[in-house]
Amino acid sequence: MKEINKILDVLEDTYPDAKCELNYTTPFELLIATILSAQCTDVRVNKVTKSLFEKYNTPKAFANLSIEEISEEIKSCGLYKSKSQKIKETSQILLNDYNEEVPNTLEELIKLPGVGRKTANVVLSNVFNVDAMAVDTHVFRVSNRIGIVNTKTPEKTEFELMDAIPKSRWSHAHHLLIFHGRRICKARKPECEICPIKNDCNYYKEGNDNGEKT
């Protein structure tokens, strides 16, 4: 097993500002922004939600919109037809069953349309201060490249990271791995030569710093 705390300490020094990069002011806004972020960059989502949340930022407001109206607002995020339907359905459930409050447990969150484990864990860790390990494409890629885990799916990655990383560091570790994946350990051309943890990385040690995607 890797020296997890050592790796995380180095990443903390490298990315002292690591945090959620989606803009939000309420649990519901973060929930919607995270749904929109599927296969879409946070930068793009923030551009969309800047105007979107000025007009609609409650479950009731979204529940009263048609799927077509939501689609028009979010179409630049990609997969907008599917996301529009899920956002409307989730908003209706929150309005009818939760008094417009976003639930604060994983079990309840993943019952909402468009909310998988990653989205649920993002909401839990960022707005409810629950220790949670959200695994997106960056966390999945980086943790497997380094060798912290050796998994084939995001869900297996989540559980192995939870075993490998102290619980108190789960939520922040998620942000550190994302920052590292966006800034240095990129999908197609990882910048291994400037990586602060290359000496603890299986990918680098195995001589894979040739820009190939893994």
What's the chain's Rg over C-alpha atoms? Answer: 18
105 neighbors 127 (Cβ within 8 angstroms): no
Asked about 118 being catalytic, the answer comes back as yes
Closest-CA residue to 50 (of 27, 24, 21, 80): 24
Six-digit token string for 130: 């629950």
Report the C-alpha gap between 150 and 30 in whole angstroms: 30
Answer yes or no: 83 catalytic.
Answer: no
Contact 157, 151 (CB under 8 A): yes
CA 100/CA 140 separation, integer angstroms: 32
User: Which residue spans within 42-103 are E strands per DSSP?
Assistant: none
Which one from 118, 167, 200, 205 is the annotated catalytic residue? 118
**Within 10 Å of residue 205's Cβ, how many Cβ atoms?**
12
Interaxial angle between packed helices 154-164 and 137-146, expressed in degrees from 0 to 180 and rounded to the nearest 10: 60
Catalytic option among 86, 88, 136, 200: 136
DSSP E strand boundaries for 40-79: none
Residue whose structure tokens are 């909310």: 115
Residues with a known catalytic role: 118, 136
